[in-house]
Structure 1
Amino acid sequence: MAKTNLLAADGGFEQPCPIRDVLDRIGDQWSLLVLDALEGGTKRFNELMRTLGDISKQMLSLTLKRLEEDGFVRRTVYPEVPPRVEYDLTPLGHSFLVPMKGLVAWADEHHRHVCEARTHYRTGAR
């Protein structure tokens, strides 16, 4: 997979909105869960598969590559037979855990209200 140069020819960013740029990448279905799983320390691919449960190998691989590309995750390959590959959070990844935990706490606290609002909306009781 070719890496994309995020700097435009004029030295500015291709995606000038930092919120959209970052949230588009970490706001997918799996990235937050992978980051949360790595909070406890270094894990191998199959450990992450077991921790996350219902993620496919292909999706976990893609998610890890994107998180590595964006600097949240470090991938370390050990020259062994068979090769051992481990994943852990970078300092950037660790720094993201603080706001991520705030979002998770908010979601836990307000999930019931969001579900009630959806039901209310769908039943036409606007």
Structure 2
Amino acid sequence: MELSWWRSGSGRYSWIPHRTLTHWGIAWIALLVLSYKALPYFHWMALVFGFAVGGIMHLLADWPNPLGVPWLWISWRHSLNLWKSGRCDWIVTSAAWLAAATVADRAWFHSVALHYVEGLTRVAMR
């Protein structure tokens, strides 16, 4: 969405500048909720839902950076200021994979993996 559409002698330009509308948290959350509510009626909304989840994950990965993310308003940014981009993004990525695995385990496998891990921790605690 932020791809450069044209170039001129002074630089590249895009229709939507980086870290503006595409990084607005309220818009991504609204898209997520609306697409989730529309899933029973329109099966293709699963694509929109996945797109919204990806957008929110991108915001969560950008939030710890010093530039931050405009969650509530486009001109106001909030930053956790924990690390610079590219340094510890594996933390957010790992948390996303863990959350996805937990949701998939619960939805498709009736929490079999969760029960297995609980059993392992009980054995380890003895």
Smaller-chain TM-score range? Answer: under 0.3
Q: Which has the larger radius of gyration?
A: 2
Relative contact order, higher structure (CA 8 A, sep 6+): 1
TM-score (normalizing by structure 1): 0.27
TM, length-normalised to structure 2: 0.27
